[in-house]
Amino acid sequence: MDDKQQLKRRDFMSIATWAIGILIGAGMGLPAIAYIIGPALREDEAFGWIRLGSISKVELGIPTLFKAKIERQTGWIVNEEEITVYVLTENGRDFIAMSNICTHLGCRVRWIKDQDQFFCPCHNGVFNKAGGVVAGPVPRPLDRFEVKVEDDQLFILGG
């Protein structure tokens, strides 16, 4: 074995070692990435139509608070969650359902009857009766749910 061959052999081994290292790293790293981000990529569970209650409970012209229980499967745990929704109707036929979660940072807004406004206690965000932005740092109106009425029962589309 002359020097040249020796050199070649060592170059090969050197490259092969690096290659194996990269191979193993990838073999472990790629699944690891998939493993870590996997649940994040999962599509949010759709709940379909969630029954809120009878439409007769909705007061005309005043956002009315409804609560509904949903079962949410998170990972290996099934939680029963309560979602809270303000339902508003001006005429008793058309309903809008608004989430009570402030679009700013996710605090819970509350209806202040005297002022006819939603108020978020965290950073003084203010929404009007229909959820539109009035004041404060809020970026957009309150989120709305799709609503349907069947047999005088009020449903929202959960998601």
Task: Give contact residues for another protein (rule: CB under 8 A).
Answer: 10, 13-14, 16-17, 20-21, 23-24, 27-28, 31-32, 34-36, 38-39, 75-77
Least distance to another protein from the beta carbon of 73, Å? 10
Q: Where are the beta strands (DSSP E) in 20-130?
A: 48-54, 64-74, 77-89, 95-99, 110-112, 117-120, 125-127
CB of 85 to another protein, least distance (A): 30
Q: Least CB distance from residue 5 to another protein, whole Å?
A: 14
Nearer to another protein, 33 or 60 (CB): 33
- Listed in sequence order, the residues at least 6 apart from 126 whose beta carbon sits closer than 8 Å to its beta carbon are 117, 118, 119, 120, 133, 134, 135, 136, 138
Q: Least CB distance from residue 69 to another protein, whole Å?
A: 21
> One-letter amino acid identity for 20?
I
Radius of gyration of the chain, Cα coordinates, nearest whole angstrom:
28
For tokens 């339902």, name the residue: 87
Cβ-based nearer residue to another protein, 23 or 135: 23
Judged by beta carbon, residue 17 or residue 115, the one nearer another protein is 17
The alpha carbon of 6 is separated from its chain's Cα centroid by a whole number of angstroms, namely 62
Which of 23, 105 has the CB closer to another protein? Answer: 23
Q: Which residue has the tokens 């058309």?
A: 94
C-alpha–C-alpha distance, residues 119 and 126, integer Å: 5
| Closer residue to another protein, CB minimum distance, 46 or 77 | 77
Q: Least Å distance between CB 31 and another protein?
A: 4
